[in-house]
Amino acid sequence: MNKKDIVKNNKKNLPKSNEKKRPSVKSKELKLSKQLMTEGKYQEALLLLNDFEGKQELTDFDSLSLYLLKSSALNRTGNHQEAFKFAENAYQICQKLNNIPKMFDILVNLAWSLSWLGDLDKSANFIVQAEELLKKLSYISPSEYDKKEAEISFCKGCAYFFQGNADQGLECARKSLELREKRGDKFGIALSLYQMGNYYTFLKWDFDQALKNAERCQSLAEELNIGYIITLNFITLGVIYIMKGELEKALMYHKRALDKANEKYMIMTILNNIGNIYIQKGDLDQASKYLEDCLELAEQVKHMYILANSIGSIIEILALKNEVEQAQKYLKKLEHLNNQEDNKITKIIYLFSKALILKTSPRIQNRAKAQEIFKKISQGETISGEVTIKALINLCALLLDELQMTQELEILKELEPIITQLLSMAENTNSFWILAETYILQAKLALLTLDLKGARRLLTQAQKIAEKHGIHQLAAKISIEHDELLQKSSIWEKLKDSESSLSERFKLTNVNEQMKNMIQKRISGVPEILEEKPVIILVISKGGVPIFSKLFTKILINEEDIISSFLATFNTFSSELFSEGLDRAIFGQYTLLMKSISTFLVCYLFKGQSFSAQKKIQNFVENIKNNEDLLEKFNKYYQTNRIIKLEDVPILKSLITEIFIEKNI
């Protein structure tokens, strides 16, 4: 679309001038550019502004407006280097004209550009100046004041994001959202929701909250047709689903973003993410295709960080495919890039890639060299948390290979400090997917030494982490794996009594598959989630006195027999579950889950998988906790030594029906 077309198509939306005299063509173009930007049409606005700038000599005021609009549009399209230059030009003219209202907007633009460019100290300085200036704008309306205060909060949120300061940043994002909601500023609301979605995705790793904000942002951005936010938010939604392990949805959102993206910087990010999704899906050929396209763009714009990352990712794929010759060619490219400039990130990616290629070799000396490089990366300065984590995972893989070959259990002792460091790194970098997967790895290593309770504790811990951070597919996989371990407990007990070989245990634990999952960042082999068959739910005092029971099964089972049988072994089960940090136990042919409420325990007996059962009992417990009247009823019945009947407490009957019978959770 050319400039004439843009003017023609948008003429009806042009704001009316308050002057009797018809505004100049220049004034029209500046106003139209501003209108286009409020609609999120930044590329069209930039086209008009570029044409306007080259036409003729401009007045200082027109130059000021032009540079300010261009810096805003360039910030919105991701070209922060150019945005900063135009904001600087505007700053100098503004000082000359002493235009205080425009100076505020310029300071915000300068701060925003510098946040993205990584100069956080200078960015903070401009934010402080903007805050001080806002105090002097006493003549503006309360609504306009709120608008500018929201801009400062949003800008602070941007700076805190790059500092990794999740708590203060999220507070600023929330404040900007509240102020924009107060004004009914839909465009601003969409921006703030996008920022909050990013905080929950990349720093807080609360993917359920991230999804709520991102979906709300998407709905609003599409209503307003703000292409820039729609595209960026598609990327955020895609990343959320990568982290949740829902790769088809992740791919769909990234491809939708790719269809809309028109900025090279944005396209590079999308291509890189799609490449990594395909790695996790195990489609290494498709992954290579997208990463090659990303690499080509990175070479065009000379973006060193993405360039090094893309080459590193391609080498990882080639190493997984065992295409060593091709990997060596890319390693030479990476070496050349590393020699070009003194960049710590490029250097660590180069070292890691070199070690990956050495690791593919069957020769012991090459694998030993790989091990030394991985150790060097893991024990050196943490330049990139992601690369350090990957080095630790590959160290574990090499030692496990050695353990399988030599059958020397002492190697497990060598693994202990590496896994401890991996857990620490994952926690410090909020890599909760890696944290949960590392606990699974630890559980499998515990099984190699026949420590069944230790393995179960670690699986319980892993599932709690996955559930807390919304990685639901992984949580389901862990739950099913825990169920299977319980079902096979007699097999494991027999192995304790026999002289079983380490090879047998390796096969039973499937630890090699776990290592592959961690190396490729994939959640594979999640079985179908099936509803459990409820048998009975009991509420008993912590001393073992029953207060309430509900039998679900239609099979002719004597409820009193089940209750008395359970109470006879109550101390054993409660001790196993609570003192051992476990979340389930086998009770005959049934599985038992127990949760505490105040001075009571809720016990749920069922047949089948535990995953959906856990959701139900948790929901049941939360509802009772949040209902003071219901909790008081339990206390009253316990004190008077009475048993609650469903007909006596309608709300309890309603809860049981909704959660366990109708399954509305």
What secondary structure, in 3-state letters, does 320-342 show?
HCCCHHHHHHHHHHHHHHHHHCC
Report the pLDDT value the prediction gives residue 205, as an integer from 0 to 100.
Answer: 77
Report the pLDDT value the prediction gives residue 436, as an integer from 0 to 100.
Answer: 94
**Which secondary structure element, helix H or strand E, spans residue 550, and what is its range?**
strand 546-551
- In sequence order, the 6+-apart residues with CB closer than 8 A to the CB of 65 are 30, 102
- In sequence order, the 6+-apart residues with CB closer than 8 A to the CB of 276 are 242, 287, 313, 521
Report the pLDDT value the prediction gives residue 361, as an integer from 0 to 100.
Answer: 92
Q: Which of 99, 157, 140, 105 is nearest to 126 (CA)?
A: 105
Report the pLDDT value the prediction gives residue 633, as an integer from 0 to 100.
Answer: 87
Mean pLDDT calculated for residue range 120-141: 86
Give 107's pLDDT tier (boundaries 50, 70, 90).
Answer: very high
Residue 522 pLDDT > 70, yes or no? yes
Separation CA 524–CA 473 (nearest Å): 9
- Residue percentage of the chain with pLDDT more than 90: 39
Separation CA 148–CA 451 (nearest Å): 60
Rounded mean pLDDT of the chain? 85
Report the pLDDT value the prediction gives residue 6, as an integer from 0 to 100.
Answer: 41
Report helix, strand or coil for 595: strand
Report the pLDDT value the prediction gives residue 586, as an integer from 0 to 100.
Answer: 83
Top mean-pLDDT range of 56-70, 477-491, 578-592: 477-491
Instruction: Judge residue 339's burial from the number of C-beta atoms within 10 Å of its C-beta, 0-12 exposed, 13-18 middle, 19 or more buried.
Output: exposed
Report the pLDDT value the prediction gives residue 17, as an integer from 0 to 100.
Answer: 35
Higher pLDDT: 385 or 437? It is 437
The predicted-structure confidence for 28-69, as pLDDT tens digits, reads as follows 778 888 888 877 677 788 888 887 776 667 788 888 888 899
Give 459's pLDDT tier (boundaries 50, 70, 90).
Answer: very high
Tokens read off for 483? 């169920």
The predicted-structure confidence for 338-350, as pLDDT tens digits, reads as follows 888 777 888 999 9
Tokens read off for 361? 């070799």
Bridge partners (DSSP) listed for residue 644: 548
Q: Which of 43, 122, 121, 31 is nearest to 76 (CA)?
A: 43
DSSP count for the chain of H helices, then E strands: 32, 5
Give 16's pLDDT tier (boundaries 50, 70, 90).
Answer: very low
Report the pLDDT value the prediction gives residue 525, as an integer from 0 to 100.
Answer: 65
Separation CA 171–CA 179 (nearest Å): 12
Separation CA 622–CA 643 (nearest Å): 21
* pTM for the predicted model, two decimal places: 0.75
Work out the number of other CB atoms within 10 angstroms of the CB of residue 589.
8
Report the pLDDT value the prediction gives residue 193, as an integer from 0 to 100.
Answer: 96
Residue 218 pLDDT > 60, yes or no? yes
Residue 399 pLDDT > 90, yes or no? yes
Least confident residue range of 7-16, 121-130, 526-535, 601-610? 7-16
Do residues 78 and 263 touch, judged by C-beta distance below 8 A? yes
Residue 573 pLDDT > 80, yes or no? no
Report the pLDDT value the prediction gives residue 23, as an integer from 0 to 100.
Answer: 36
Residue 303 pLDDT > 90, yes or no? no
Angle at 231 between CA 519 and CA 30, to 5 degrees: 145
Report the pLDDT value the prediction gives residue 3, as an integer from 0 to 100.
Answer: 42
Q: How many CA atoms lie within 13 A of 588 on its CB side?
A: 9
Mean pLDDT calculated for residue range 81-101: 87
**Cα separations (Å) of 183 from 175, 222, 376?**
13, 20, 54
Residue 312 pLDDT > 70, yes or no? yes
Separation CA 64–CA 67 (nearest Å): 5
Instruction: Catalogue all structural domains in the chain, each as residue range(s) with its CATH number.
Output: 394-520 (no CATH), 533-661 (3.30.450.60)
Mean pLDDT calculated for residue range 300-313: 84
Task: For 589, list phi and psi in degrees, rounded to 5.
Answer: -90, 5
